[in-house]
Homo-oligomer: A and B are copies of this chain.
């Protein structure tokens, strides 16, 4: 019998915790360590920190990567920040320790257009160290890009692609409700958008991935961020939104070629007014619509996409990969190492 896949979790926030708990259900995986620079987390037992029923696990959260990423670690699951510039050093540290890596950093999902230099560096280092890395999650990485490209396999010709994700955040985490601006005035919302506080990262990355997969040569990718205005008052467990105030964020990204929209992506995350859903529409031969009524749950599905990608990534050729290259699939809990 082969040895188990030895994994270290880098970043133990809500997503990192979900990833770790899911990995513990897979027979083929052994979680051997975790890293978090937050002094309130480092030193704690990982199982206790993530609120696992079978805690403690006897795994102490380390504050530095260096001490953990010895030869025995096959892969790092990484979940610390949306900004590729901020995490590039962390990624390089893992790659240079000879570890494969899957990150939820949204900007890593398809970084070639926005960060050609960092992409080239990561690709070269990964090839030199013989490891593969990828950025993925539910969005970007799955619902608005990879799933769309998979559906396009049933298309004889695609002229235009559209993906719309509506997330009712009424029952989601408090920090998420704050992050989307729920409860702010319109002026406060715009100020937080300008400050870069309110923004879902990843839409332009999805647009770029879809463009390459569909063979569209884009002149530009345009993104805008608008508030969703509450028509009536909304009360959640964590906050109140008055009628006329902001209930969430509405982002639109468009891929333009020859002055025309070729790709349209829309993400609406707000509290109240129910009805989460994901919709993909391909115009061409034939026209194809795919809907996920109720939507794909952000946190649950992101952890799933990351953990399900582990065997595929370990099998991939060395370098910087994207979910466009990887055959996404399910990782059965009973699969053997």
**Chain A residues near B (Cβ < 8 Å):** 22, 25, 138, 142-143, 146-147, 149-158, 213-216, 285-286, 288-294, 296-297, 300-301, 303-305, 307-309, 324-330, 332-335
Contact = CB atoms under 8 A, between A and B. Distances in A.
Contacts of A324: 329
A214 B334 CA distance: 10
A215 B154 CA distance: 26
Contact of A304 (B153, B300, B309): B153
B22 A214 contact: no
Contact of A294 (B289, B334, B335): B289
Given A149-B329, A152-B330, 17 more contacts: A147-B150, A150-B150, A150-B328, A153-B304, A153-B308, A153-B328, A155-B301, A156-B304, A214-B332, A215-B333, A215-B335, A290-B290, A290-B292, A291-B291, A324-B329, A326-B327, A327-B328
A330 B149 contact: yes
15 contacts: A22-B156, A138-B154, A142-B154, A147-B150, A149-B329, A149-B330, A150-B150, A158-B330, A213-B330, A215-B334, A215-B335, A216-B332, A286-B297, A291-B293, A324-B329
Contact of A300 (B22, B213, B286, B301): B286
Contacts of A289: 292-294
A296 B282 CA distance: 12
Contacts of A147: 150-151
A100 to B, nearest CB: 18
A291 B256 CA distance: 28
A213 B153 contact: no
Contact of A296 (B150, B288, B291, B296): B288
A316 to B, nearest CB: 10
B290 A329 contact: no
A121 to B, nearest CB: 26
Contacts of A304: 153-156
Contacts of A142: 153-154
A303 B215 contact: no
A306 to B, nearest CB: 10
B152 A329 contact: yes
B213 A329 contact: yes
Contacts of A150: 146-147, 150, 328-329
A334 B151 CA distance: 19
B291 A330 contact: no
Contacts of A216: 332
A63 to B, nearest CB: 29
Given A147-B151, A288-B292, A215 B332 contact: yes
A28 to B, nearest CB: 11
Given A285-B300, A286-B301, A330 B293 contact: no
Nearest to A302: B154
A25 B332 CA distance: 39
